[in-house]
Amino acid sequence: MRAVPGVSAVDLATAVAQWQTVVGKDWVFTSDADLDPYRDSYSPVRDEKEERHASAVVAPASVEEVQAVVRIANHHRIPLYPISTGRNLTYGGSAPVYSGSVILDLKRMNRILEVSEKNASALVEPGVSYFDLYRYIRDNNLKLWIDCPDPGWGSPLGNALDHGAGYTNTPFKDHFDAHCGMEVVLADGEVMRTGMGALPGAQTWQQFKYGMGPIVDGLFAQSNFGVVTKMGFWLMPQPETALLATVTAPRYADGVRFCDTLISLIYADALKSQTQVVSPVLMGPPDAELGPLLRRWDEGREAALDAYAQRKGVPFWTAPVALYGPQSVVRAQWAYIKERFSAISGATFNEDASYTFPLTDEQVRSVIDKTRAGIPNLAYFASRSSPDAPPLEGHMDFSPIVPMDGKVIVSALELFAKACQELGIAPLGGRPLFYHTRTVTLIYAIPTGRDPTANKKAREAFAKLMDIGAAHGWGEYRIHPEFMDKGVGYYSYNNHALLRFQERLKDAADPNGILSAGRYGIWPKHLRDVAR
Ligand SMILES: Cc1cc2nc3c(=O)[nH]c(=O)nc-3n(C[C@H](O)[C@H](O)[C@H](O)COP(=O)(O)OP(=O)(O)OC[C@H]3O[C@@H](n4cnc5c(N)ncnc54)[C@H](O)[C@@H]3O)c2cc1C
């Protein structure tokens, strides 16, 4: 059996035997073969001594079992790393942040506890996947939608706890924002409910977020203060119709206005769904002609790129527009959006598809952009860096948050494009995504794989990009464990007062430091100086 740092072999063997009594022998894994699937297959330090590994896995099936497992770990001071469905690829997969921790795998807790059509909400356990919740809603003919990330294999709960995001309307696309109420097992095994859940017999746990007193829910996301065993979510009522459309603009110089038009539509609530700015010219994959033009940084860059776009008949900027609601409202919104973009000479408008709900199974299969219709899928894994390249082996996403300002967005795109060239990396994406209501997230998927030299280069580039972002006042919204300490290190106002406060909370809530040590830079006292 693998060793756990700081834990004697006798203590570990005792804990394993106790866990086996709690969850059953079949649900405690210690062999290398059983632990292999818990490796981070996208790790930028794959097969190197820095790669993070689990030493064992315990998979409880109920809250009571979670409590017992946590109490045993707390008694023996064994580090635990809870995961829900464990699909957090690009941000660490299911491997622990502190290598040698025991994974607390909550996949077996996969009950959909409640779905209210009337109040458009759900209460789920950690192991419920997007596919599970979608299937449940469909099987029961409920007029509700889920909001899913690109891959539907993850869980609403795990995704929200890492501040994940999706595609439909505000507030549903910001998954933590769309949650309402939690149940949490604390480090000493005590179970707690947040918001209205603290009120025995509460009637509005999944409707009213605040309860009474301070809102503590945020403490359990991107952190290590507890094991979340239930979480409520607001769901989007099924719209009558959806229109999936695209707007485009022809020239480089239109970029700022293009972004600012989208932004003003978002602020005006005329566009509530996730959109993103894509440039077929700037964001490739480049052909033989475009490659050299993109490496031009002299004053002829803009004209050369415009000429290329014209020659190839491709727009310079495009953005998807998804509108949901009654037909007449959707039509009015689309008309208004077209009117606003018409101020850009040469702007085009395409209606890609429209749907009336509910869809038959056959219609579901033929939806062109499933995530925008709340249908979980795995199509994104076909993404390639060029038409001939195989799909990526792995990637870690550099994702700075920038202000909603066209000028800043375009200059950030160019800044990072130049930096990537200088660093010799070719990330996928690099597009501004409107995940959150008041900021833009740029996401650069930096390839990782099995080649240690290429991984080293990717890591160095990633660190450099973070420095560049921070120098402009842009921090990441989410990050791979390899860069968690560095990422939170930028949030350093007043000598890291925020992190120091989080550490004080950690010491109080988890004095033995057993839960998810190091997650988002929060280390327990005994590891603070050694592990960072
Ligand atoms: C190609 C690709 C595209 C992607 N696109 C998106 C996207 O569009 N949007 C997006 O948000 N993500 C995206 N991701 C990232 C990731 O796949 C998803 O966010 C996924 O949903 C996260 O995995 P999960 O839901 O299984 O969460 P988990 O892996 O289970 O959880 C994530 C982390 O949260 C913590 N945690 C989980 N459960 C608990 C718990 N019960 N108690 C305490 N802590 C817990 C753990 O630290 C865990 O590591 C993408 C990944 C890839 C590879």
Note the pLDDT tens digit of each residue in 451-467: 999 999 999 999 999 99
320 Cβ inside 6 Å of ligand 1: no
> pLDDT value at position 486?
98
Q: What pLDDT is stored for residue 381 in this prediction?
A: 80
> For 380-386, what is the mean pLDDT?
68
Q: Directed axis angle between helix 327-341 and helix 255-267, to 10°?
A: 150
Q: Is the peptide bond before 285 cis (omega within 30 degrees of 0)?
A: yes
Structure tokens at 73: 């770990």
* pLDDT exceeds 80 at position 388: no
82 lines ligand 1 (CB under 6 A): yes
Which residues are CB-neighbours of 214 under 8 A, at least 6 positions away?
none
Residue 313 has a CB neighbour count (10 Å cut-off) of: 7
Looking at residue 399, the DSSP 8-state letter turns out to be -
Residue 36 has pLDDT above 90, yes or no: yes
224 lines ligand 1 (CB under 6 A): no
> Exposed (0-12), middle (13-18) or buried (19+): which is 5, by Cβ within 10 Å?
middle
What are the tens digits of pLDDT across the range 184-207? 999 999 999 999 999 999 999 999
385 has a pLDDT exceeding 60: no
Spell 268-286 as b/e; 16+ CB within 10 A means b.
Answer: eebbbbbbbbbbbbbbbeb
Q: What is the pLDDT of residues 111-169, one digit of tens each?
A: 999 999 999 999 999 999 999 999 999 999 999 999 999 999 999 999 999 999 999 99
pLDDT single digits (tens) 480-515:
999 999 999 999 999 999 999 999 999 999 999 999
**Res 384: pLDDT:** 60
Whether the CB of 40 sits within 6 Å of ligand 1:
no
Whether 251 is a known active-site residue: answer no
**Catalytic one of 38, 81, 91, 130:** 91
In this prediction, residue 531 carries a pLDDT of 78
8 A C-beta contact, residue 146 and residue 352: no
- How remote is the CA of residue 40 from the centroid of ligand 1, in Å? 12
Most informative mutation of 39, 97, 161 for ligand 1 (most atoms within 8 A of CB)? 161
Say which of 251, 477, 519, 520 is annotated catalytic: 477
More confident: 532 or 427: 427
Helix (H, G, I), strand (E, B) or coil at 428: strand
Closest ligand 1 atom to the C-alpha of 381?
1
pLDDT at 265 over 90: yes
Q: Is the pLDDT of residue 386 over 80?
A: no
What value does the mean pLDDT of the chain take? Answer: 96
